[in-house]
């Protein structure tokens, strides 16, 4: 999809429908009911799974991407790095998440060392399986409530509950508070009777970063690891060099470099961006790690770091499958069921989860 660049000042004069029409005319867009083709841009994995995708972004995906690039991204670019603005962002994302999953039960649990949210239909709680999900939000916003809808999709795919620990956020609680809470939350889950071979880790963006750090901790400590890990657009590299060059070449529809940099500096001030404790792309991977399914959008600035992560994991003997969805943006799966690509991606995650826990 051709990127149509503009400055934030142009937003008021922008005709969304006309640009969308132009973008659709400039590419071969799959129709909503067309057969999805195989293969898409995906890298090696040993799961024997078949993944499918539209050959180009569908019109719904294009509409969402153009809308974000013209409305949401400029707002995030201009967001001041103060507590009041961050508070508004937290309130907004939590509200959107709650509204998107009104039909799904969510039970808050304060009994463990880290409070959290149980998500899923009532019948799912009889299952001995579990999705342990770490939410995204740049380590500075987001919560179990903001990700309730996505957690509900995972619960439905596995037929089991999803638990989201409410890990501490920066700047009130900087590194390593978040990973400490992730470790404590997982240990508590094991204490509730769930077996590691029946648990799937899931994480998006910053949550994907934490999931990788959690696996690394478990591997180093010789503690039981989950059956598999599903990552959606994980933030794996705190060094902004590759992201900046990608964004200059083709504007990310959603992620603004300024927001990424602010989040990093609030979370881990003073740390070397290449430190593997915050940039898991630089971890020492081991072949005792569980299987991974990693998804990202081809249009997002995190794609380069994610591809490098996958290559290094495979070279170290980790069973990793990477799906790069062309023209898609950061955590596009959150727009399920609005865009067909999100529906297909979530189904692939479900297939992976069931394959690892059967």
Residue with tokens 């400029």: 74
Instruction: Please state the rounded mean pLDDT for residues 223-248.
Output: 93
Q: State the CB neighbour count (10 A cutoff) for residue 125.
A: 14
Work out the pLDDT band at 26, boundaries 50, 70, 90. Answer: very low
Q: What pLDDT was estimated at residue 202? A: 99
Specify the pTM. Answer: 0.82
Q: Where are the alpha helices (DSSP H) in 117-222?
A: 148-158, 177-191, 206-221
Q: What pLDDT was estimated at residue 285? A: 98
Q: How far is CA 220 from CA 199, 224, 225, 311, in A?
A: 19, 11, 11, 21
Q: What pLDDT was estimated at residue 13? A: 31
Instruction: Please state the rounded mean pLDDT for residues 224-253.
Output: 90
Q: Measured between alpha carbons, how far is 3 from 6 in angstroms, rounded to an integer? A: 10
Residue of 61, 143, 146, 205 marked active site: 205
Query: Domains of the chain by range and CATH?
Result: 37-357 (3.40.50.1820)
Question: Residue 44 pLDDT > 70, yes or no?
Answer: no
Q: What pLDDT was estimated at residue 69? A: 64
Q: Where are the alpha helices (DSSP H) in 47-197?
A: 59-67, 73-77, 83-100, 148-158, 177-191
Q: For the purposes of burial, counting CB atoms within 10 Å of the CB of 222, is it exposed (0-12), middle (13-18) or buried (19 or more)?
A: exposed
Range in 99-103, 202-206, 223-227, 323-327 the model is least confident about: 99-103
Instruction: Please state the rounded mean pLDDT for residues 303-330.
Output: 95
Instruction: Please state the rounded mean pLDDT for residues 86-102.
Output: 73
The question of whether 127 is a catalytic residue gets the answer no
**How do residues 134-167 score in pLDDT, each as one tens digit?**
999 999 999 999 999 999 999 999 999 999 999 9
């Amino acid at each position: 999809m051709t990127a149509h660049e503009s400055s934030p000042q142009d937003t008021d004069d922008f005709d969304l429908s006309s640009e969308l029409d132009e973008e659709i005319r400039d590419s071969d867009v799959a129709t909503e009911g067309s057969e999805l083709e195989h293969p898409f841009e995906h890298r090696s994995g040993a799961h024997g799974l078949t993944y499918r995708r539209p050959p180009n972004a569908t019109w719904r995906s294009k509409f969402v991407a153009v809308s974000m690039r013209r409305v949401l991204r400029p707002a995030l670019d201009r967001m001041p790095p103060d507590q009041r603005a961050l508070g508004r962002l937290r309130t907004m994302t939590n509200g959107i998440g709650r509204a998107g999953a009104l039909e799904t039960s969510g039970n808050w649990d304060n009994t463990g060392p880290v409070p959290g949210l149980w998500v899923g239909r009532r019948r799912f709680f009889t299952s001995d399986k579990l999705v342990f999900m770490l939410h995204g939000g740049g380590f500075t916003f987001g919560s179990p409530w903001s990700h309730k809808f996505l957690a509900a999709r995972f619960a439905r795919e596995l037929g089991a509950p999803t638990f989201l620990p409410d890990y501490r956020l920066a700047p009130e609680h900087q590194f390593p508070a978040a990973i400490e809470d992730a470790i404590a939350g997982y240990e508590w889950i094991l204490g509730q009777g769930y077996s590691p071979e029946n648990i799937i880790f899931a994480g998006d963006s910053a949550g994907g970063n934490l999931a990788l750090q959690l696996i690394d901790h478990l591997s180093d400590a010789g503690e039981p690891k989950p059956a598999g890990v599903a990552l959606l657009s994980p933030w794996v590299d705190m060094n902004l060099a590759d992201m900046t060059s990608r964004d200059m070449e083709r504007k990310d529809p959603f992620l603004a470099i300024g927001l990424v940099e602010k989040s990093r500096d609030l979370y881990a001030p003073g740390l070397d961006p290449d430190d593997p404790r915050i940039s898991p792309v630089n971890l020492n991977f081991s072949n005792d790690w569980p299987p991974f399914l990693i998804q990202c959008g081809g249009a997002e600035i995190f794609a380069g770091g994610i591809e490098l992560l996958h290559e290094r994991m495979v070279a170290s003997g980790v069973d990793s499958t990477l799906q790069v969805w062309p023209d898609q943006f950061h955590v596009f799966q959150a727009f399920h069921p609005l865009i067909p690509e999100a529906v297909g991606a979530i189904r692939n995650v479900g297939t992976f989860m069931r394959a690892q826990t059967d």
